[in-house]
Structure formats: C-alpha cells, structure tokens
Amino acid sequence: MALTDELERIATLAATHAPAGDEVSGIIATEPTAGRRVYLCSFDDADGMRSWLAVCEDGAPVTSREELREAVSIAAICEVAVDAAGGGDVDALIASLAELREREAPEGIEVAEEAARGLRAGLGDPPQLATPARLDEIGTATRRLERELDPGGASPFAAAMKSAQGAVAELQREIEAGYRLNLI
C-alpha cells in the first residue's frame, strides 16, 4: 500500500478517537524500529486548538511515553535532516551547479551535480516515512555532496544535526502537553 493511501486509512482510524468537531489536521508516519509503525496525528478543534494522538498501524492509541518519544524523536530528527540537507534547497543547488557547469565548467562539477541529484533522489517527495535508515541515507548522501563541494570543509549538515536536540525536545513537549490520553 502506498504511504499516501496508508495515511488516509490512519486518518480515518485516528478520527474515531476524536470528539465531534475535531479533525485530523496532519499525520507524521514514523517507524522508530523496523516493522513497528507509529503515526503522530495532530487534531484541530473548532477553536483552532491543536492536540495530538499517536496510533499504531491498527489504529490503537499509543499510551507508552517511551514509545511516543521514540516516534517523535525520529520524526523530528528526520525533518531537521531534510531541512538541512544540501543547504536546505537541493533543487536550487542542482540548478546552481548546472549553471556553474555551463558558465565556468570547473573540474569535478559533474561529480558534484551527480551527488546533488543523488541527494535529491534520496529525499524524495512528501510524504515520507521517518526511519533511522532514512536518516542514515540522507546523512550519507549529504556528506558525499559536502565532500564534493568542499573536500576539506566542515559539515554544515553535521552541525545542524548536533543542534537538533532543541527541536526534538520542543516537539516532544508540544506533543506531550497536548496529548489526548494519559501516558504511562
């Protein structure tokens, strides 16, 4: 089943846990460990207030704080990785590299373009499943690109990932504060 279809199915299942008037406003698909999917579902009520509920593939709500945190962590870290990869706009980078190749034809530009296209392919189009393997793939492709562009330079991607802990903690706080059930 395509992820888009799966998200529609999950939205329907998650909606059964909401009072009338609340709508599923977003879903983040995660697989913190192989074979175990958790969907982070946001709900908006009639007053625009947001709340959250994580559900498993069968629609059962997640009540374990540890399981919720694992899902939130991989979702947040993957989002940071996507945003930081290739400077944040891989398509613009690819276009700039092509323009540079046409204008100046520097040595090695084709390899850099290939690395950028590889990163773009790895990022794919939304929606995507947040997994440790996806995070590794993005990191590997980004580092390859960084090495082609500046072989001796520091990694802006690595720096972004190191600073991601604040974003992870903030998302965890937001979701736990607005969680629809008591966590154990």
Give 72-125 pLDDT, tens digit per residue.
Answer: 999 999 999 999 999 889 999 999 999 999 999 999 999 999 999 999 999 999
The answer to whether residues 165 and 142 touch, using CB atoms and an 8 Å cutoff, is no
How far apart are alpha carbons 154 and 53 in whole angstroms? 39
The one-character DSSP state at 62 is P
Phi, psi of 57 (to 5 degrees): -60, -30
Strands 36-44 and 50-56, how do they pair? antiparallel
Residues 6+ apart with CB under 8 A from 26: 41, 42
Q: What is the pLDDT of residue 136?
A: 97
Q: What is the pLDDT of residue 48?
A: 87
Residues of the chain with pLDDT under 50: none
Which residue type, as a one-letter code, is found at position 121? A
Neighbours of 64 (CB within 10 A): 12
Neighbours of 13 (CB within 10 A): 19
